[in-house]
A and B are shown apart, each in its own frame.
Chain A
Amino acid sequence: MTILFGIFLLTLLVITAMAIVKAKNLFVAVMLTGIASLLVAANFFLLDAADVALTEAAVGAGISTVLFLSALALTSDRERSRTKNRTMSLAVTIIATLVVIYATFDKPRFGSPEAPVHTHVAPWYLEKTPEYIDIPNVVTAVLGSYRGYDTLGEVFVVLTAGIGVLFLLGSGRVLAPAREERSGTTRLRHHLIQRVVGRLLIPFILLFGLYVQFHGEYGPGGGFQAGAIIAAAIILYSLIEGEDHALRVLPQKVLLGLMAGGAILYAGIGVIGMLLGGNFLDYSVLSSDPVKGQQLGILLIEAGVGITVTGTLLAIYHAFAARSS
Chain B
Amino acid sequence: MQLLLDVISWVLLTLGGIAVLVGGIGALRMPDLYTRMHAVSVTDSLGAILVLTGIMFQAGLSLATIKLIAILLFLLLTSPTASNALASAALIAGTKPLDEPDGGNTGAGR
Question: Chain A: residues with CB nearer than 8 A to chain B?
Answer: 188, 191, 193-194, 197-198, 200-201, 204
Contact = CB atoms under 8 A, between A and B. Distances in A.
Nearest to B81: A197
Interface in B57-110: 74, 77-78, 81, 84-85, 88
Q: Size band of the B side of the interface?
A: under 10
Contacts of B84: 193-194
Kindly list the 3 A-B residue pairs having the minimum CB-CB distance in the complex, ordered from nearest: A197-B81, A194-B85, A193-B84
Is the contact region of chain A dominated by helix, strand, or loop, or is it mixed? Answer: helix
Contacts, number: 18
Contacts of A193: 81, 84-85
Nearest to B84: A193
A191 B77 contact: no
Nearest to B82: A194
A204 B74 CA distance: 10
Contacts of A197: 77-78, 81
B17 to A, nearest CB: 15
B50 to A, nearest CB: 20
A201 B77 CA distance: 9
B60 to A, nearest CB: 20
A122 to B, nearest CB: 28
B78 A191 contact: no
Contacts of A194: 81, 84-85
Most chain A CB within 10 A, of B74, B77, B78, B81, is at B81
Nearest to A198: B81
A283 B74 CA distance: 39
18 contacts: A188-B85, A191-B85, A191-B88, A193-B81, A193-B84, A193-B85, A194-B81, A194-B84, A194-B85, A197-B77, A197-B78, A197-B81, A198-B81, A200-B77, A201-B74, A201-B77, A201-B78, A204-B74
Contacts of B78: 197, 201
Contacts of B81: 193-194, 197-198
A198 B74 CA distance: 11
A201 B84 CA distance: 16
Contacts of B74: 201, 204
